[in-house]
């Protein structure tokens, strides 16, 4: 037996540097994030009796997040444009509390919020101030979840500027404005969650507006976290596919919803799993969460170390995409 063990050790010993280097880099990055001052040093976030405001909570991930926060005793303020769905969500939250005996003394509340209608700081102020009055103490939003979003399908050449702007309005400017107007109401031990995407790290073909908006939102919050409140927790989520029907609501080049879901989307994470993973990361004071299969994570590394190879692979993948350009190379 010991002979076999010795043989294995002798056999694998020359390869130890190959394992030691990545393990060392990983260990060092963990050690540094623990040593460096910032949100990681804060005690874990207790959501009981905290106010959580979620944008885009009428369906999908926002809706699933509302259950996760409510289950943990938070007062949830859910917003979106579909008031019927929000009202139904609040009723379901109360029913789940009764059924599962969740310890929560707060009634969930909902409000209409269209991120494309807000305008600027002046025109949006009243609507955002009204949301604050729904907080437990009438003024503090402990956790802001910037989740609302939309997508598009179509080539760079075919997608009209109107759609490029519409996607940026929801996925970028809307969140920037809501965050600006709420920033002073978020305490130092509170948090901001930003639902970005893996496409905020690597852009893919035929999703230009969406990828651009997710790059933009990641950049905005990276700037914010490095400004004058470095201890405020900002958790950016880079998610791969989640099975929410998101693709079927994406706009085509005519501005109409696709109506059918992409195959990739249906094979994505379950929305309940995604929501629970996000809230656990939030509680642990994480600042970045990558929720994607290993092969998609590799793309992020390739983007920096071997970009041309990645672009070639994405081009090959794009050749099977049903949303290819009508104006092909000549």
Ligand X SMILES: NC(=O)c1ccc[n+]([C@@H]2O[C@H](COP(=O)([O-])OP(=O)(O)OC[C@H]3O[C@@H](n4cnc5c(N)ncnc54)[C@H](OP(=O)(O)O)[C@@H]3O)[C@@H](O)[C@H]2O)c1
Where in the sequence numbering do the catalytic residues fall? 210
Q: What is the CA radius of gyration of the chain?
A: 22
Helix (H, G, I), strand (E, B) or coil at 257: strand
Nearest-CA neighbor of 154 among 329, 330, 326?
326
Interaction pattern, residues 126-165, with ligand X; x per rule: CB under 6 A: ---------------------xxxx---------------
Cβ atoms of 228 and 180 within 8 Å: the answer is no
Candidates 18-26, 130-138, 244-252, 300-308: pick the segment binding ligand X (CB under 6 A). Answer: 244-252
**Distance, CA of 159 to chain centre:** 24
Nearest-CA neighbor of 310 among 322, 297, 320?
297
Nearer to ligand X, 187 or 245 (CB): 245
Contact with ligand X (CB under 6 A): which of 239, 279, 281, 289?
A: 239
Kindly identify the residues of this chain, within the stretch 8-47, that bind ligand X according to CB under 6 A.
Answer: none
* CA gap 218, 236 in Å, rounded: 7
Nearer to ligand X, 174 or 190 (CB): 174
* CA gap 129, 258 in Å, rounded: 35
Contact with ligand X (CB under 6 A): which of 104, 185, 197, 233?
A: 197
242 binds ligand X per the rule CB under 6 A: yes
* CA gap 194, 246 in Å, rounded: 17
- Smallest distance, Å, CB 240 to ligand X? 6
Contact with ligand X (CB under 6 A): which of 45, 53, 61, 275?
A: 61
Contact with ligand X (CB under 6 A): which of 268, 275, 278, 289?
A: 268
- Smallest distance, Å, CB 314 to ligand X? 17
Nearer to ligand X, 206 or 246 (CB): 246
- Smallest distance, Å, CB 25 to ligand X? 27
- Cα–Cα separations (whole angstroms), residue 51 to 78, 129, 130, 190, 304: 11, 14, 14, 9, 39
81 binds ligand X per the rule CB under 6 A: yes
* CA gap 103, 327 in Å, rounded: 58
- Smallest distance, Å, CB 150 to ligand X? 5
- Smallest distance, Å, CB 262 to ligand X? 9
- Smallest distance, Å, CB 230 to ligand X? 25
Interaction pattern, residues 269-308, with ligand X; x per rule: CB under 6 A: ----------------------------------------
- Smallest distance, Å, CB 199 to ligand X? 7
Contact with ligand X (CB under 6 A): which of 49, 92, 94, 114?
A: 114
Contact with ligand X (CB under 6 A): which of 113, 163, 282, 289?
A: 113
* CA gap 204, 190 in Å, rounded: 34
* CA gap 317, 307 in Å, rounded: 15
Count of C-beta atoms within a 10 Å radius of residue 254: 9
Phi, then psi, of 222 in degrees rounded to 5: -65, -40
* CA gap 293, 78 in Å, rounded: 30
170 binds ligand X per the rule CB under 6 A: yes
Task: State the distance between the two ends of the chain, measured CA to CA, in whole angstroms.
Answer: 67
Torsion of CA 101, 106, 112, 113, to 10 degrees: -100
The binding site for ligand X (CB under 6 A) comprises: 55-62, 80-82, 113-116, 147-150, 170, 195, 197, 239, 241-242, 244-246, 249, 265, 268
């Amino acid at each position: 037996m010991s002979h076999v063990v010795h043989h294995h050790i002798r056999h694998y010993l020359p390869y130890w540097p190959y394992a030691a280097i990545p393990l060392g880099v990983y260990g060092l990055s963990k050690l540094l994030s623990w040593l460096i001052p910032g949100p990681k040093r804060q005690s874990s976030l207790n959501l009981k009796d905290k106010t959580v405001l979620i944008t885009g909570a009428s369906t999908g991930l926002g809706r699933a997040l509302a259950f996760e926060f409510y289950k943990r005793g938070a007062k949830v303020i859910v917003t979106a444009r579909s008031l019927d769905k929000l009202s139904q969500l609040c009723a379901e939250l109360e029913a789940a509390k009764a059924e599962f005996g969740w310890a929560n003394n707060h009634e969930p509340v909902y409000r209409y919020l269209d991120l494309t209608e807000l305008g600027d700081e002046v025109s949006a102020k009243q609507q955002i101030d009204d949301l604050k009055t729904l907080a437990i103490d009438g003024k503090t939003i402990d956790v802001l979840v910037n989740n609302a979003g939309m997508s598009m399908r179509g080539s760079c050449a075919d997608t009209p500027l109107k759609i490029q702007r519409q996607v940026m309005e929801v996925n970028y400017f809307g969140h920037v404005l809501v965050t600006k107007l709420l920033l002073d109401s978020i305490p130092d031990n509170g948090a901001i969650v930003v639902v970005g995407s893996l496409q905020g790290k690597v852009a893919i073909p035929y999703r230009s507006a969406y990828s651009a908006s997710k790059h933009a939102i990641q950049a905005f919050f990276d700037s914010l976290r490095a400004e004058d409140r470095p201890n405020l927790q900002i958790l950016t989520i880079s998610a791969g596919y989640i099975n929410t029907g998101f693709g079927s609501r994406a706009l085509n080049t005519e501005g109409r919803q696709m109506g059918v879901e992409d195959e990739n989307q249906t094979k994505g994470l379950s929305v309940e799993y995604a929501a629970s993973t996000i809230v656990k990361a939030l509680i642990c004071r994480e600042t970045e969460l990558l929720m994607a299969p290993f092969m998609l994570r590799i793309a992020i590394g390739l983007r920096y170390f071997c970009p041309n190879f990645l672009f070639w692979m994405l081009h090959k993948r794009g050749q099977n995409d049903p949303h290819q350009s009508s104006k092909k190379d000549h």
